Chain A
Amino acid sequence: MIASLWRSSLRYLWSHPWLFGLSVVGVAMGVAMVVSIDLANVSAQEAFELSAETVTGRATHQVRGAGDGLDEAVYRQLRIDHGVRPAAPVVEGYATVPDAGRTFQVLGIDPIAEGPFRAYASQDAGIELDVFMARGQTALIAEPVAEALSRAPGDTLQVRVGGRDRALIIAGLLAADDERSRQALESVMVVDISTAQELFEMQGRLSRVDLIVETDAERDRIEGLLPESARLDRSEARTETVEQMTRAFELNLQALSLLALVVGMFLIYNTMTFSVIQRRPLIGRLRALGVTRREIWRLILGEALLIGALGTVVGLALGLVLAQGLVVLVTQTINDLYYVLTVRELTIDAWTLTKGALLGLGATLLATVWPAREATNAPASTVLQRSAAETSTREAAPRLALGGVFLGLLGGGLLLIPGDSIALSYAALFLLIIGFSLLIPLVITGMATGLRPVMDRLFGLIGRMAARGVVTTLSRTAVAIAALVVAVAATVGVGIMIDSFRGTVEVWLEGQLQADVYVQPPSLVFRQADATLDAGVVATFRAAEGVRDAHTVRSVHVETNHGRSELVAIEFGPSTEDAYRIKEGDASVWDRLGSEPVVIVSEPYAYRHDVEVGDTIEIQTDEGRAPFEVGAVYFDYASDLGVITIGRPVYNQYFEDDAVSGLALYTAEGQPVEGLVERLRRQVPDGQEVIIRSNQGLREASLEVFDRTFTVTVVLRLLAVLVAFVGVLSALMALQLERSRELAVLRANGMTPRQLWQYVTSQTGVMGLMAGVLAVPLGLILATVLVYVINRRSFGWTLQFNVTPEILLQAVGLALVAALLAGLYPSYKMAQANPADALREE
């Protein structure tokens, strides 16, 4: 690169600090969003892997039961009768320490068998067996945890499991060999196996038996020894399955952050196009002096690289800060929807940062290719006229629109391709955005013509000039407006998607919640009823005064031919049929559900596993693997992982389990619901915490969780709004600042600073209004694709499209307010400046 050209380029950027600064901010925000989401996801994954690694230890395989447990006799038979060693029994679950507000993964083990698996929990680690095992109800926690809780060995620790409070004595402290283990152990509490069985009400049952199996022959032998109700899995496979639960959720977050990057790209495109168009005469001069096209190309790309590099550095730093907050929201959502996860600290992943840097630089360069091409094609001429460029832009508008229609159709066509590729959906979305942008020059020309008489009536000559000015400088205004439209439309699209989701869930809850009162034990994962109700409580409540009818629900996790799934066994109540809205299948399924091996599956389950009515699902039961026919598919928005629902009588035939996860009560006629809730609360025995909610209360709680799980999306949308705002500001401010000479001419001709302000703000206002209005249809298109295609391909849900006028008005308002603000600085600057300075040649 020729030093003078580079110097000239740098000075140009330096002499346009607003333009330069805002483009850097544009890139930075795009990069920050992608990086922060990625870091939050990676941190959650890392925390999960760390915890999985810690509790799995060196086990290569696990023996698990059919439902939520395995008969401990299986362990005895394997180890003692058949000499399968090493083998270690495990009972695991989660417990909270209310004092500290923290959740621990509780690992119930036999320290004598632990040696080969988890050194930290074995005799070798110096655990005093006489204290740990003989005293009963003891626990081991990591040293830093003990410090944080101000506890020492011998002290009592209050823990809560399934709503019941228990006191454990700290028998010792877990020591870690390295930093990684230290981190992992901070979320683990080790107890004796019998203590764990008592805590989780799993007397006589185990969560699993860990094994180290080195040969295929050994594996086959063990498989042959297992009863029908048990199965042998690779430990890694189990971790992978759980990890995959959050895949769609994480993918969608990433996609949303990429959408922000696309908006960022438009901003960069706007900036670079603007700076190229503005310098057309200068580039023409350089070309006349003998600067080659390649040198101009390098010059423009060099500038972009500088903006991209600065934006990327700022974006990476901003991303790290943002990730600290987002990781909390992501963890919260995972905890609400999928599994218990504790993220103690942010994982700074080098690949994420590299990816962010590559995206930042790549997106900037990609967005610059077209403007750079425009610059290199600028004719080298001594007589270059700006008006010629504007005329050619106006002439090109119909052609661009035609191209836009073609790209739009291409995008639409891609969406019609069957399949579940989310990447393809986003590619189609991108084409639709570009296609729509190409329509903008033609559309705003028409809009300006329509607006002229209105502006004339409102502001007279100045109004007319403002409307006309949008078309006379079309080469600049079209790009700026297109950038704004895309930025604002992205916020509309995501906003409508969230509203549609919420609206659908509200309607669904209305139908789903038919009973008057719901009783359940507290659950660490809101949407998973993994704890059980005390049998005494169930009996008392069923017989309580004022209760007309009741039905129970039991939720367990089972192995199926489609992997591990949630199985919900329902008792039939007076309005069970009304609670389920059938999507496929007919009402006759209800009769069969009570007596035949028939299940109904939720819509996401059917979508995820490609299951249809009439198909068979094989479920691992206590009676061995059994086939169940899919009788119907029903609408359900509680879990994106999908649910299999079975009648309780049939469940009881296949599973030795009489536990209850939830109870729904119907009040007797004339019985006030709140009165019944109060009475039931008084009847809860000491020691068990039970959540009793009215229909209304549960609905509100469900929506509260919904809103909480969408907080991260709302935050992303707000960030996109912020990027859009910066975009509006930078595009319009640059446009006005660049017109300082024209404004100086007006000032020289007697325009007062007040009139100048009116002129500038009415023009930016017109552009903001145009952008806001055009963002509405594009926003609706984006929302349609997000709701009907991307959401469906990610989760399998059918959502009702829900557009509120507020969201559309918000879009127009956002564009308008930002546009008016963008006019303030240039009009202030011009009002302060001496017109003579601006009028000087160059």
Chain B
Amino acid sequence: MAADATAPPQVQLRGLTKGYQEGEQFRTVLDDLNLTITKGEMVVLLGRSGAGKSTLLNLISGIDRADAGEVILGDTNLTTQSEHARTLFRREHIGFVFQSFNLIPTLTVEENILLPLELNQRSSSEDRDRALHFLEEVGLRDRRSTFPDRLSGGEQQRVAIARALAHDPLLILADEPTGNLDYETGQQVLDVLDRLVRQAGRTMLVATHDHDLRAVADRVLFLQGGTLDVYDPSSVPAS
């Protein structure tokens, strides 16, 4: 299912600016950045290492605070929220997929997937069934009692995707989801993302330097020198 251009905006970034003090110098990573992502849109954010992709994801999720500008998710302006409120917002409305999977090693696959629900104190059997359904969708139902260290990288990332979807978030953020995987496994993960996220009409922003992700994108952004260039997926330069 392709994104509906008339759908309401899910993510709005207005004049977003962020920099870091590096010794004597101040380096601006994001410079007066503006962006709108509509509901159901899948946006791929390309850029070299150190371009500021992860920083942008951290700002959108409320993990970090911008130096200037606004981050509005749905109806909530995260910029005006306290750290505690941003954390509560994040756990309710955002799903994360990390490059290094970041599963909790001391929880089983099933417990990892149910963690977002527990954090949100949602314990109805409906919610649980729905969350566990994603485990089936990623083909790992038979591994539900396994601890993450017994899974391959691809399997761990599929569990991470299921976890990111478990609580039906407003927005899914993925940071280099195929970065730690070989080509074939990366393709499998892309398939899962395409099926469970894009085709299901969920909103997602994927930061990557893997150009293959263009294939599943509605829109491609290129972050360079602190600013964003927008491309149509079919016309993105090869590197």
Q: Which residues of A contact B (CB under 8 A)?
A: 2-5, 7-9, 11-12, 15, 282, 285-294, 379-383, 840-842
**Interface pair A382/B57, CB less than 8 Å apart:** yes
**Interface pair B175/A382, CB less than 8 Å apart:** yes
Chain A residues with CB below 8 A from B102, complex form? 285, 288, 382
Interface residues of B in 97-148 (CB under 8 A from A): 98-107, 111, 114-116, 118-119, 148
Q: In the complex where A4-B107, A382-B54 touch, is A289 in contact with B116 (Cβ < 8 A)? A: yes
* Minimal Cβ-Cβ distance residue in A for B63: A380
Chain B residues with CB below 8 A from A291, complex form? 87, 91, 119
In the assembled complex, how far is the CB of residue A590 from the closest CB belonging to chain B, in whole angstroms? 78
In the assembled complex, how far is the CB of residue A701 from the closest CB belonging to chain B, in whole angstroms? 63
B88 within 8 A of A: yes
Q: Chain B interface mostly helix, strand, loop or mixed?
A: helix
The 9 A-B residue pairs with the shortest CB-CB distance in the complex, in nearest-first order: A290-B91, A11-B106, A8-B106, A290-B90, A285-B102, A380-B63, A292-B87, A4-B118, A383-B54
B96 within 8 A of A: yes
Q: In the complex where A8-B104, A289-B91 touch, is A382 in contact with B111 (Cβ < 8 A)? A: no
Q: In the complex where A382-B57, A382-B58, A382-B63 touch, is A290 in contact with B106 (Cβ < 8 A)? A: no
User: In whole angstroms, how far apart are the Cα atoms of A9 and B104 in the complex?
Assistant: 10
In the assembled complex, how far is the CB of residue B85 from the closest CB belonging to chain A, in whole angstroms? 10
Most buried by A among B114, B119, B153: B119
A-B pairs with beta carbons under 8 Å apart, 7 shown? A8-B106, A290-B87, A291-B119, A293-B84, A841-B100, A841-B153, A842-B105
Chain B residues with CB below 8 A from A380, complex form? 63, 87
With A8-B107, A290-B94 given, can you name 13 additional A-B contacts, CB distance below 8 Å? A4-B114, A7-B106, A7-B107, A9-B106, A286-B104, A287-B63, A288-B96, A290-B90, A290-B91, A382-B57, A382-B96, A841-B149, A841-B156
Chain A residues with CB below 8 A from B111, complex form? 4, 7-8
* Minimal Cβ-Cβ distance residue in A for B169: A290
Chain A residues with CB below 8 A from B106, complex form? 7-9, 11-12, 15
User: In whole angstroms, how far apart are the Cα atoms of A2 and B107 in the complex?
Assistant: 13
User: In whole angstroms, how far apart are the Cα atoms of A240 and B156 in the complex?
Assistant: 72
Q: In the complex where A288-B63, A289-B115 touch, is A382 in contact with B98 (Cβ < 8 A)? A: yes
Q: CB within 8 A of A381: which of B58, B92, B103, B149?
A: B58
**Interface pair B175/A292, CB less than 8 Å apart:** no
User: In whole angstroms, how far apart are the Cα atoms of A292 and B106 in the complex?
Assistant: 19
Chain B residues with CB below 8 A from A4, complex form? 104, 107, 111, 114-115, 118
Q: CB within 8 A of A842: which of B57, B61, B115, B148?
A: B148
B32 within 8 A of A: no
Chain B residues with CB below 8 A from A294, complex form? 84
In the assembled complex, how far is the CB of residue A679 from the closest CB belonging to chain B, in whole angstroms? 82
Q: In the complex where A382-B54, A382-B57 touch, is A289 in contact with B105 (Cβ < 8 A)? A: no
In the assembled complex, how far is the CB of residue A699 from the closest CB belonging to chain B, in whole angstroms? 64
B31 within 8 A of A: no
* Minimal Cβ-Cβ distance residue in B for A840: B149
> By the criterion of a CB under 8 Å from any partner CB, how many residues of chain B are at the interface?
37
Q: In the complex where A381-B58, A383-B54 touch, is A292 in contact with B118 (Cβ < 8 A)? A: no
In the assembled complex, how far is the CB of residue A193 from the closest CB belonging to chain B, in whole angstroms? 77
Chain B residues with CB below 8 A from A842, complex form? 101, 103, 105, 148-149, 156
Most buried by A among B106, B114, B148, B175: B106
**Interface pair A289/B100, CB less than 8 Å apart:** no
Q: Scoring B residues 31 to 60 as 1 if CB is less than 8 Å from chain A, else 0, what string do you get?
A: 000000000000000000000001001100
Q: Which residues of B contact A (CB under 8 A)?
A: 54, 57-58, 61, 63-64, 83-84, 87-88, 90-92, 94, 96, 98-107, 111, 114-116, 118-119, 148-149, 153, 156, 175, 180
Chain B residues with CB below 8 A from A286, complex form? 104
User: In whole angstroms, how far apart are the Cα atoms of A358 and B200 in the complex?
Assistant: 56
User: In whole angstroms, how far apart are the Cα atoms of A455 and B103 in the complex?
Assistant: 40
Chain B residues with CB below 8 A from A840, complex form? 149
Chain A residues with CB below 8 A from B84, complex form? 292-294
* Minimal Cβ-Cβ distance residue in B for A285: B102
User: In whole angstroms, how far apart are the Cα atoms of A639 and B58 in the complex?
Assistant: 71
User: In whole angstroms, how far apart are the Cα atoms of A754 and B101 in the complex?
Assistant: 35
Question: How many CB-defined contacts (below 8 Å) exist between A and B?
Answer: 90
**Interface pair A381/B64, CB less than 8 Å apart:** yes
Q: CB within 8 A of B104: which of A285, A290, A292?
A: A285
Q: In the complex where A381-B64, A840-B149, A842-B148 touch, is A290 in contact with B116 (Cβ < 8 A)? A: yes
User: In whole angstroms, how far apart are the Cα atoms of A294 and B83 in the complex?
Assistant: 11
User: In whole angstroms, how far apart are the Cα atoms of A804 and B149 in the complex?
Assistant: 54
Chain A residues with CB below 8 A from B96, complex form? 288-289, 382
Most buried by B among A12, A288, A293, A840: A288
User: In whole angstroms, how far apart are the Cα atoms of A347 and B54 in the complex?
Assistant: 64
* Minimal Cβ-Cβ distance residue in A for B104: A8
Chain B residues with CB below 8 A from A2, complex form? 118-119
Q: In the complex where A380-B63, A381-B58 touch, is A292 in contact with B88 (Cβ < 8 A)? A: yes
Chain A residues with CB below 8 A from B92, complex form? 290
Chain A residues with CB below 8 A from B116, complex form? 289-290
User: In whole angstroms, how far apart are the Cα atoms of A581 and B23 in the complex?
Assistant: 67
User: In whole angstroms, how far apart are the Cα atoms of A291 and B121 in the complex?
Assistant: 12
User: In whole angstroms, how far apart are the Cα atoms of A5 and B90 in the complex?
Assistant: 17
User: In whole angstroms, how far apart are the Cα atoms of A381 and B61 in the complex?
Assistant: 10
User: In whole angstroms, how far apart are the Cα atoms of A485 and B111 in the complex?
Assistant: 42
Chain A residues with CB below 8 A from B99, complex form? 382
Q: CB within 8 A of B87: which of A9, A287, A379, A383?
A: A287
In the assembled complex, how far is the CB of residue B101 from the closest CB belonging to chain A, in whole angstroms? 7
In the assembled complex, how far is the CB of residue B188 from the closest CB belonging to chain A, in whole angstroms? 17
* Minimal Cβ-Cβ distance residue in B for A11: B106
User: In whole angstroms, how far apart are the Cα atoms of A37 and B118 in the complex?
Assistant: 47
* Minimal Cβ-Cβ distance residue in A for B149: A842
User: In whole angstroms, how far apart are the Cα atoms of A288 and B106 in the complex?
Assistant: 17
* Minimal Cβ-Cβ distance residue in B for A2: B118
Chain A residues with CB below 8 A from B57, complex form? 382
* Minimal Cβ-Cβ distance residue in A for B153: A841
User: In whole angstroms, how far apart are the Cα atoms of A688 and B227 in the complex?
Assistant: 107
Most buried by B among A9, A282, A380: A380
Q: In the complex where A4-B107, A380-B63, A842-B105 touch, is A289 in contact with B119 (Cβ < 8 A)? A: yes
Chain B residues with CB below 8 A from A3, complex form? 118
* Minimal Cβ-Cβ distance residue in A for B90: A290
Chain A residues with CB below 8 A from B180, complex form? 841
User: In whole angstroms, how far apart are the Cα atoms of A842 and B57 in the complex?
Assistant: 24
User: In whole angstroms, how far apart are the Cα atoms of A15 and B106 in the complex?
Assistant: 9
In the assembled complex, how far is the CB of residue A840 from the closest CB belonging to chain B, in whole angstroms? 6
In the assembled complex, how far is the CB of residue B44 from the closest CB belonging to chain A, in whole angstroms? 17
User: In whole angstroms, how far apart are the Cα atoms of A9 and B98 in the complex?
Assistant: 22
**Interface pair A288/B61, CB less than 8 Å apart:** yes
User: In whole angstroms, how far apart are the Cα atoms of A2 and B54 in the complex?
Assistant: 28
**Interface pair B119/A290, CB less than 8 Å apart:** yes
In the assembled complex, how far is the CB of residue B115 from the closest CB belonging to chain A, in whole angstroms? 5
Chain A residues with CB below 8 A from B103, complex form? 842
In the assembled complex, how far is the CB of residue B157 from the closest CB belonging to chain A, in whole angstroms? 11
User: In whole angstroms, how far apart are the Cα atoms of A4 and B58 in the complex?
Assistant: 25
Chain A residues with CB below 8 A from B148, complex form? 842
In the assembled complex, how far is the CB of residue A288 from the closest CB belonging to chain B, in whole angstroms? 6
Chain B residues with CB below 8 A from A383, complex form? 54, 58
In the assembled complex, how far is the CB of residue A784 from the closest CB belonging to chain B, in whole angstroms? 44
User: In whole angstroms, how far apart are the Cα atoms of A429 and B104 in the complex?
Assistant: 42
User: In whole angstroms, how far apart are the Cα atoms of A379 and B58 in the complex?
Assistant: 11
* Minimal Cβ-Cβ distance residue in A for B96: A288
Chain A residues with CB below 8 A from B64, complex form? 381
Chain A residues with CB below 8 A from B107, complex form? 4, 7-8, 11
User: In whole angstroms, how far apart are the Cα atoms of A760 and B220 in the complex?
Assistant: 50
* Minimal Cβ-Cβ distance residue in B for A281: B102
* Minimal Cβ-Cβ distance residue in A for B103: A842
User: In whole angstroms, how far apart are the Cα atoms of A841 and B156 in the complex?
Assistant: 10
In the assembled complex, how far is the CB of residue B148 from the closest CB belonging to chain A, in whole angstroms? 5
Chain B residues with CB below 8 A from A841, complex form? 100-101, 149, 153, 156, 180
User: In whole angstroms, how far apart are the Cα atoms of A293 and B84 in the complex?
Assistant: 8
Chain B residues with CB below 8 A from A282, complex form? 104-105
